[in-house]
Amino acid sequence: MSTLTSVGALLLDAEALYRELLRGVQQIGGANTRLVGITSGGAWLAERLQKDMNLPGQAGKISSAMHRDDFAQRGLSSGGQTVLPFDVNGADILILDDVLFTGRTLRAVINELFDYGRPASVKLAVLVDRGGRELPVQADFAAARVALAPNQSLALARSDAGVFSFDVKAKA
């Protein structure tokens, strides 16, 4: 079952975009690539990709909480802590996220990743790139690019059955 989310006149089908992300990850990943999802949407993607690609072991999960430049306002999120079930040193890391916007979360995640070691390379794949960058960051692969109003947020949601959809909210 696929849930369509309307963003203005645009309909986003999270399951269709996931299938496109799967194709893209298979193209940019290599034999030694380790999947690492940003909590929570990116971690869901990494977990499902790990399974769908029949990769051994489990995907990593990484939190941006400890390195955020707005930590004083946000504090620790309930999304979970970093779990990297492999050696980061010398690994080819593919970071996964649901939505790329300002680039600040990715900056914090890269700082967190380097707390665990020095990877050989780091790439980024996202379900949706919504533009609006505040830092010089870009995805190596994006399943879709959409424009949203600055006061809107877009996040991946997952049902109990594991089906992806999008949640669009207006920021206060």
Tens-digit pLDDT string for the chain (172 aa): 445 555 554 578 999 999 999 999 999 999 889 999 999 899 999 999 999 999 999 999 999 988 867 655 555 555 589 999 999 999 999 999 999 999 999 999 999 999 999 999 999 999 999 999 999 999 999 999 998 888 888 999 999 999 999 988 887 6
Q: Is residue 77 a contact partner of residue 42, using CB atoms and an 8 Å limit?
A: no
**Structure letter (DSSP) for residue 83:** B
Residue 85 corresponds to which amino acid?
A: P
- Assign domain 10-170 to a CATH class: alpha beta
Predicted confidence at residue 4, as pLDDT, reads 53
**What is residue 74's predicted lDDT score, i.e. its pLDDT?**
53
pLDDT at 58: 96
Sole residue written with tokens 């609006």: 132
The residue ranges of every structural domain in the chain are 10-170
Q: What is the DSSP string of 12-70?
A: EEHHHHHHHHHHHHHHH--TTEEEEEETTHHHHHHHHHHHHTT-SS--EEE--GGG-TT
pLDDT the model gives residue 80: 80
- Give residue 31's pLDDT: 86
The pLDDT value given to residue 1: 40
